[in-house]
Amino acid sequence: MDEFGFDLTSGGSDFFSELDSIYNNVTEPEVGASDADELLEGLNPEQKEAVQHLGGPLLILAGAGSGKTRVITYRIAYMMKKHNVAPGSILAITFTNKAANEMKERITALVGDRSQYIWCGTFHSIFARILRRHADLIGYDRNFTILDSDDQLKMVKQVMQELDISEKMYKPRNFLYEITNSKNHMVSPEQYEQLAGADTARQQNAKVYKRYNMKLIENNAMDFDDILVNMVKLLKGNPDILEFYRNKFGYIMVDEYQDTNQPQYNAVMLLAKGHNNICVVGDDDQSIYAFRGADVRMILNFEKDFPGCQVIKLEQNYRSTKTILSAANEVIANNKSRKSKALRTEGNEGDKIIVMNADSQAVEAAWTADTIKHMVQKGKFAYSDVAILYRMNALSRSVESALRDKGIPFRIYGGMRFYDRKEIKDTLAYLRLINDSKDDLAFDRIINVPKRGIGDTTVDKIRAIAAAEHVSMMDVARRASQYEELMRSANKLYGFCKLIDEFTVHLEEDEMSFPDFVDYVENESGMIQEMIDQRESKGELTDRVENLKELLSEAAEFEKNHRTSEETDNSELQSEIEDDEFLEEETATADTLRGILALYLENAALYSQGDSDDDNEDYVKLMSIHSSKGLEFGAVFLIGVEDGIFPSYKSIASAADTEEERRLMYVAITRAKKNLFIVLTRQRMLFGQTQCLPPSRFLREINPEHLYRMGNMREVQKQPSEAVNSQARVIARRNIASALSSGVTTKKDTTGGMRSGVAKKPGALSPAEIKDGMKVRHDRFGSGIVIKVEPVAGDALITVDFDGMRKNMLAGTAGLKKGE
């Protein structure tokens, strides 16, 4: 055991004893209804100056943890309290929904409920909202669909097929890359074509790009990039609209401005140029989104865009210990193309950064979990103070199983997003088709989900007819027997139409709650049944059913927030800001099931689960470094810090890319308030192979004085090549981590507990009541005997014998009643 008391087998000594001083719930000053000037008390002189700045352009360029975001929140509060600025005229743009929610919460703490009228969100969510409003002006319907990258790739493949481009010779991904990249730089298909000149490869790109865009419009769909591009189009093409929003958003604020790309920049310029009341905040050292078109020059040129703008520098870091901040500064100093910047702290020296070089992935994960548990048991931190960060989402796997193993509650952000999951997208496609029968993309997606014997050829025919007659695919399906070529599938198609019609009837009846309706669709469509039947062979039911249940609680939550209620009395506020004709947009509500559904669909695409946090729950947070930007944690575990992972092998060839990775390292280090743990391993399973990677080059850039090394630390100081050579090639063997993960039956994402929104049918048995051997009655199948009960995701998978016919079903949704 070492002086730090780390020992994987025993409890260890109390080595975190001095840690409590700095970190202990930094509470916001109480403001309440009192004087606006009280707001200024929690700020340093530079911050005060920024907060009091009301009109004209303002640039805050400052290092990590210097209170930039705090300036924005306080500035908004101050404007409202001191200058009576209407909240509806404030536009505050952040980078992620999570950051937006956090900012909203902080502002609410300062000014109260009026904060809900502030337009605070990501570029994408705010622009999408505006675009829906004026969709007709850019050739769209209000309920346009937003495609995720999966849908985009499918679309590209479809285009390639139509243009007779072989997937063997050309990779769809490359076309998509060209398209996204063009949009991120505001290059239209026409411009792309012009730029292509005589280059045949580029001419082909142009063709694909053009057709791809056309198809999107035909399908009333936008990809993420279109949201930005179309916003610029809307503002440029419609002077009256531009004028309207310039007047509406009298005060604009953009956080993380260094990550702005061309279309975002153009939109901001258009909106701000009238009054110049724009405040941007950022840090060029934290620019980590170049891969998606972000350009630091946007922030560096701000002074040129707005001559005479006020520039404020913040040089004091309030977040981290001296040790952590020094390490961050030492790393970032290695970037050549960089304006150097002062950043100091008056905080404690703090603990050394602990670097653990483990022998295997399993040890890396187990050590991380043990250390977290140790600290929490000692009362140094709560689980919710701890974050585990990584360069690649795939790295979360082994840590997940270690955490589960030790019974540590955790939650994963990002990665495979909730709304990206197949079963969720399928359910949403059903809902979209019910909401709008013209939604061909939705039709396409679920016409054969679950399998109902309608194959690709049939769907292709329907698509062709629909295109020729300019009607929706649903329309064609309804009249299937009118077409020779659809005769054979007509009955199956009618079955599908009948199903959708049935859903529509229930929707219009308006008698179910929203989650009940979703639940009903999930069941009646046969999706759940299919999962149950497939389980027999694969045994992978739990996750998917759990996801569908999670969707129900999201639906319940959504209805709670958006169902019009009589108690909501906004009259006072309304008179205060009555000239704000868009007020109702902010608190959009509906009082019919149909209305709720439409609202939900408008919002679902840009919202990912986990954007909103439950404050009451205590769990460790796992996320990529990218998604941790702007956040802070008492203790940070940075895992997978090996050359090839971090920096990524893709970036080591280029100096510019390596510098971006280094900025990412800077971001990662500066997330930590008190303790930083850097964890790496000598060998790990990666891309299906056991690989030996040397410690990250960035580690050698930190002054060793700040580090305390554990495990195989000799190698940290070696040159990468030397380290590689010194390590014998390891024969692949099943490591402990994967052995653990395969045998674990604990729940996956621990988001549960919010499942109350779903009402049970009267008289139906609850999952807990159903026992083996029980006699039950089912509405459709009649009487039967339960012959098997298996718990699944807070529900139970039961097997019932109905007169010799065995059926698998979920107890919670089957609506079984007590028999005989």
Ligand X SMILES: Nc1ncnc2c1ncn2[C@@H]1O[C@H](COP(=O)(O)OP(=O)(O)OP(=O)(O)O)[C@@H](O)[C@H]1O
Q: Which residues contribute to the site for DNA (CB under 7 A)?
A: 95-98, 122-125, 148-150, 157, 167-168, 171, 173, 224-225, 288-289, 291-292, 391-394, 414-415, 417, 448, 451-458, 488-489, 606, 608, 623-624, 626-627, 648, 650-651, 657, 685, 687-688, 738
How far apart CA 377 and CA 383 sit, in angstroms, is: 10
Could you tell me which of 401, 449, 404, 408 has the C-alpha nearest to residue 425? Answer: 449
Instruction: Give the position of tokens 């409590």.
Output: 20
Residues 6+ apart with CB under 8 A from 17: none
Say whether 285 is catalytic. no
What b/e readout covers 223-248, taking b as 16+ CB neighbours within 10 angstroms? Answer: bbbbbbbbbbbbbeeeeebbeebbeb
Contact mark string toward ligand X, 270..289, x via CB under 6 A: -------------x--x---
Interface pick for ligand X out of 351, 475, 632, 795 (rule CB under 6 A): 632
The binder of 66, among ligand X, DNA, none, by C-beta within 5 to 8 A per type, is: ligand X
Q: How far is the CB of 121 from ligand X (least distance, A)?
A: 17
Is 492 in the active site? no
Q: Is 493 helix (H, G, I), strand (E, B) or coil?
A: helix
The distance of closest approach from Cβ of residue 317 to ligand X in the complex, given in angstroms and rounded to an integer, is: 8
Q: Residue 435 corresponds to which tokens in the numbers above?
A: 């909401």
- What does 633 interact with, of DNA, ligand X, none (CB < 5 to 8 A by kind)? none
Residue 562 contact, options ligand X, DNA, none, Cβ 5-8 Å cut-off depending on partner type:
none
Give me 614's structure tokens: 């439950």
| Near ligand X in 786-805, by CB under 6 A | none
Min dist. Cβ of residue 571 to DNA (A) = 34
Cβ-based nearer residue to DNA, 626 or 674:
626
95 binds, among DNA, ligand X, none (CB under 5 to 8 A by kind): DNA
Nearer to ligand X, 69 or 401 (CB): 69
Shortest distance, position 189 Cβ to ligand X, whole Å? 37
Q: Residue 255 and residue 260: Cα distance in Å, rounded?
A: 10
Q: Which one of the spans 39-47, 86-94, 547-555, 593-601 is the region binding ligand X (CB under 6 A)? A: 39-47
Pairwise CA distance, residues 507 & 558, whole Å: 17
Residue 464 CB, shortest distance to DNA, in Å, is 13
Judged on CB neighbours under 10 Å (0-12, 13-18, 19+), 417 is middle
Closer of 31 and 639 to DNA (Cβ): 639
User: What is the nearest approach in angstroms of ligand X to the Cβ of residue 81?
Assistant: 18
CA gap 663, 286 in Å, rounded: 6
Which among 723, 640, 626 is positioned nearest to 680, based on CA atoms? 640
In whole angstroms, the minimum distance from the beta carbon of 681 to ligand X comes to: 28
Q: Which 41-70 residues touch ligand X, going by CB under 6 A?
A: 42-44, 47, 64-70
Q: Are 116 and 100 in contact (CB under 8 A)?
A: no
Min. distance of Cβ 507 from ligand X in angstroms?
44
Q: Is 574 a catalytic residue?
A: no
Task: Please state, in angstroms and rounded to a whole number, the distance separating the CA atoms of residues 656 and 606.
Answer: 31
Q: Are strands 344-345 and 672-681 parallel, antiparallel or unpaired?
A: unpaired
Name residue, tokens 């100093």.
333
Instruction: Quote the CA–CA distance of 615 and 212 in Å, as a whole number.
Output: 43
Of 623 and 793, which CB lies nearer to DNA in the complex structure?
Answer: 623
Pull the structure tokens for residue 339: 């304006």
Show the tokens assigned to 134. 């004026």
In 3D space, the residue among 305, 373, 320 whose CA is nearest the CA of residue 351 turns out to be: 320
Single residue of 1, 11, 17, 26 touching ligand X by CB under 6 A: 26
Binding to ligand X by CB under 6 A, coded x per residue (else -) over 222-251, reads ------------------------------
Task: Name the β-bridge partners of 410.
Answer: 620
Q: Is 256 known to be catalytic? A: yes
Reduced to 3 states (helix: H, G, I; strand: E, B; else coil), residue 126 is helix
Q: Compare residues 4 and 318 and give the one whose CB is closer to ligand X.
A: 318
Q: Phi first, then psi: give them for residue 317, nearest 5 degrees.
A: -95, 125
- In angstroms, give the least distance from the CB of 84 to ligand X: 25
Return d(Cα 593, Cα 595) in angstroms, integer.
5
Candidates 621, 671, 673, 674; catalytic one: 671
| Catalytic choice (102, 223, 226, 255) | 255
Rounded distance between C-alpha atoms, residue 446 and residue 463, angstroms: 14
Whether 479 sits among the annotated catalytic residues: the reply is no
CA distance 444 to 466: 12
Site map for ligand X, 310-349, x if CB under 6 A?
--------xx------------------------------
Tokens, residue 25: 């719930």
Q: At what angle do helices 189-196 and 200-218 cross, to 10 degrees?
A: 170
Q: Taking the complex as a whole, how short is the minimal distance between the CB of residue 70 and ligand X, in angstroms?
A: 4
Total number of residues that touch ligand X (CB under 6 A): 19
Strands (E), 149-241: 221-223
Judge contact between 395 and 640, C-beta under 8 A. yes
The partner in contact with residue 67, picked from ligand X, DNA, none with C-beta cut-offs of 5 to 8 angstroms by kind, is ligand X
Q: Which is nearer to DNA, 445 or 709 (CB)?
A: 445
Q: Which two tokens stand for residue 168?
A: 């063997």
283 or 559: CB nearest ligand X: 283
Residue 101 or 238: the one with the smaller Cβ distance to DNA is 101
Q: Which is nearer to DNA, 202 or 461 (CB)?
A: 461
Q: Are 439 and 518 in contact (CB under 8 A)?
A: no
Q: Which is nearer to ligand X, 66 or 751 (CB)?
A: 66
**Residue in 225, 256, 554, 795 annotated catalytic:** 256
Whether 68 is a known active-site residue: answer: yes
- Active-site residue set: 68-69, 255-256, 286, 671
Which residues in this chain contact ligand X in the complex, by CB under 6 A? 26, 42-44, 47, 64-70, 283, 286, 318-319, 630, 632, 670
